[in-house]
Structure 1
Amino acid sequence: MNATQSRPDRTLMVIIGIIAALAAVALAVVFSRGAPAPLDESTPAGIVQRYAAAIITGDEATAARYLSPDAPDLCMPGDRSPPNDNMRITLASTTIRGDTADVVVTMTTTYDGGLFGPSSYDSDGTVSLVKTDGSWRIESAPWELTVCPTPTVTR
């Protein structure tokens, strides 16, 4: 009898074991990522992150807490944005100038259907903030991220 045919190659078994371990680690990382970590609420980007999350989920009361006192005065009757859970917001840049700041975001909206499957549309927008009583508050936002907490009644 030939003893070499009945014994498995140990090197091959070690390589298969390493590949299996790497695959398990990769899956654990993918499934444990969840939502992005919240940015510091004392920063303009942190305020925009929380405001955008509230807008996307349709929570106007929470979104309104991040507005400056003058922001509702800027709303027009058609400015109300419906909730859109097909939208993803990505921070592009933040510029701070004393008591004002601009946060540029990329808004990606995904649409179902179409001949070739889902499609998406990217647009950039600027959220302007002002420091009020030591806290950053939103003064204006792109129409996709607009909330008017007190709707204007027109006759």
Structure 2
Amino acid sequence: MYSLMGVVGTLVGLSIVVVLSRGTTPPPDPATPEGTVQRYTQALLAGDDAGAAALLDQTSTARQDCQYADTERRAADLRITLGSTLIDGPRSTVSVTLAQGSASGPFGTGEYTSSDAFELQGAYGSWSIVSTPWPLLACSGAEVK
């Protein structure tokens, strides 16, 4: 009886050690499309529109379509999850999931989730963003309409 409890205790202890020692996933390389999107979204959500705008391509629709309301509607509770990446020569598409809202409510989740994508263009081993999902426009340096 005691040996069975000892074996179970040992297995539980080993399981805890394995789970705790796995660590976290390293961030994507900044020189990749995923890394560029992550740097852009981190800057934007931190309120650094100028830093985010520096990662935009000069022809980016995110620069051209900037409306004042876009900067006002940016949700403070917006969460972005990187999805798959498709690289086709000098162009790349990074899929993302956008989630915002409260995590709970009287009828379940009050969260809204949508899928969208960033379009990027590669040049000399670096990537610039050509188009962004709507709530993620960087209006710094652009004429805000």
TM exceeds 0.5?
yes
TM-score tier, shorter chain, comes to: 0.7 to 0.9
Give the number of equivalent residue pairs: 143
Moved more, 64-73 or 93-102: 64-73
**Quick one: distance in 2 between partners of 1:138 and 1:81?**
22
Q: Indicate the residue corresponding to 1:40 in structure 2.
A: 29
Candidates 101, 112, 116, aligned match of 1:125: 116
1:85, 1:22 → 2: CA distance? 40
Match of 1:55 among 26, 44, 47: 44
Unpaired segments ≥5 residues, structure 1: 1-8
CA contact 2:66–2:144 (8 Å) conserved in 1: no
1:10 correspondence with 2:2: yes
Q: Are residues 28 and 95 of structure 1, via their aligned partners in 2, closer, same or farther at CA, if it must alter by over 3 Å?
A: closer
Runs of 4+ in 1 over 6 A off after TM superposition: none
Report which structure shows greater RCO (CA 8 Å, sep ≥6).
2
Distance 1:153 1:49, change over 3 A: closer
Query: SS where residue 41 of structure 2 aligns?
Result: helix
Distance in 2 between the 1:123 and 1:25 partners? 36
RMSD: 2.8
Alignment TM-score, normalising by the size of structure 1: 0.72
Percent of matched pairs sharing the same residue: 34
Instruction: Assess if the C-alpha contact under 8 Å between 2:40 and 2:52 holds in 1.
Output: yes
Residues 14-35 of structure 1, C-alpha deviation per residue, up to 9 Å, x if partnerless?
13531551464266358x54xx
Letter in 1 for 2:136: L
